[in-house]
Amino acid sequence: MNIRIAIADDHPMIIGGLKNMLSVYPHITLAGAYVNGADLLKGLEKMEPEVLLLDIQLPDKTGDLLAPVILKRHPGVRILALTNLNSALYVHNMLRMGVLGYVLKNTDPEIVIRAVETVYEGREFIDPALMDSLDQFKQRMKREAALKPTLTLREKEILRMTVNGDTIQEISEKLFIGLRTVEYYRSNLFLKLDVKNMAGLIRKALLLGLSE
């Protein structure tokens, strides 16, 4: 087994620490290190690793935005999220995008190596420290899914566009409907999903899988 990996992280100390840690494992070879999303995408065009250690909080593009792009352009790359974000919601969303692993930066080196080897084989790996919160999150999703509100086709369309970041003006232009009509539908979504602001609306939509 010889695993080519790349690292994407904007902290030189993290990259240096990972290089030192990985250097003692002869079956792992470093194929590149990148400090932002733009450099990462350019580097992947020149050399594809088999496993990518991807920080979710890169300065120019977040990992949850980069992951779908990378997987579309480079389907052979297995992504392992390496992050400080101890969030079951992020774990759920990253896995749903096709990311195979999720580990915390403060985890033991042995767990990182096990994660690299596992995703290299095409299998999922979740940091053991996250398993309890992820299980609780999944149970909550099941309970809330049973109470999932019924949305019209137009409401689903507007919700999906909202989650994707479209403004009211952009939704109006793309759907050929008036601004007030868009506002009306959004007001209905606030009521049906029982939320008070846009952040709550987006979070609830992702949680219930209503924006797919």
189 contacts 159 by C-beta, under 8 angstroms: yes
Task: Specify the pLDDT at position 80.
Answer: 98
Q: Hey, what amino acid is at 15?
A: I
Average pLDDT on 105-128 reads 95
- Eight-state DSSP code of residue 173: H
- Eight-state DSSP code of residue 54: E
Task: Provide the domain limits for residue 46.
Answer: 3-134
Length of the chain as a residue count = 212
184 contacts 158 by C-beta, under 8 angstroms: no
Is 124 part of any domain? Answer: yes
* Segment 186-203, tens digit of pLDDT: 988 998 888 888 888 888
Residue 212 has pLDDT above 80, yes or no: no
31 contacts 4 by C-beta, under 8 angstroms: yes
Of 134, 165, 190, the domain-final residue:
134
Q: How many domains does the chain have?
A: 2
Q: Binning pLDDT at 50, 70 and 90, where does residue 205 land?
A: confident
Task: Specify the pLDDT at position 210.
Answer: 81
Average pLDDT on 101-113 reads 95
Average pLDDT on 17-37 reads 93
Local structure of 171: helix, strand or coil: helix
Is 171 part of any domain? Answer: yes
Local structure of 34: helix, strand or coil: strand
Mean pLDDT of the chain: 91
Percent of the chain surpassing pLDDT 90: 66
How many Cα atoms are found within 13 Å in the side-chain-facing hemisphere of 105?
Answer: 16
Is 146 part of any domain? Answer: no
Number of H helices, E strands in the chain: 10, 6
Report the alpha-carbon distance of residue 93 to residue 79 in Å, rounded: 13
Indicate whether 16 and 62 sit together in one domain.
yes
Q: Binning pLDDT at 50, 70 and 90, where does residue 33 land?
A: very high
**Which residues are CB-contacts of 53 (< 8 A; sequence separation ≥ 6)?**
5, 6, 7, 8, 9, 18, 80, 82, 116
CA angle 94, 97, 99 (to 5 degrees): 60
Indicate whether 50 and 109 sit together in one domain.
yes
Residue 58 CA from chain centroid, whole number: 12
Average pLDDT on 154-161 reads 92
Is 144 part of any domain? Answer: no
Indicate whether 65 and 109 sit together in one domain.
yes
Indicate whether 29 and 127 sit together in one domain.
yes
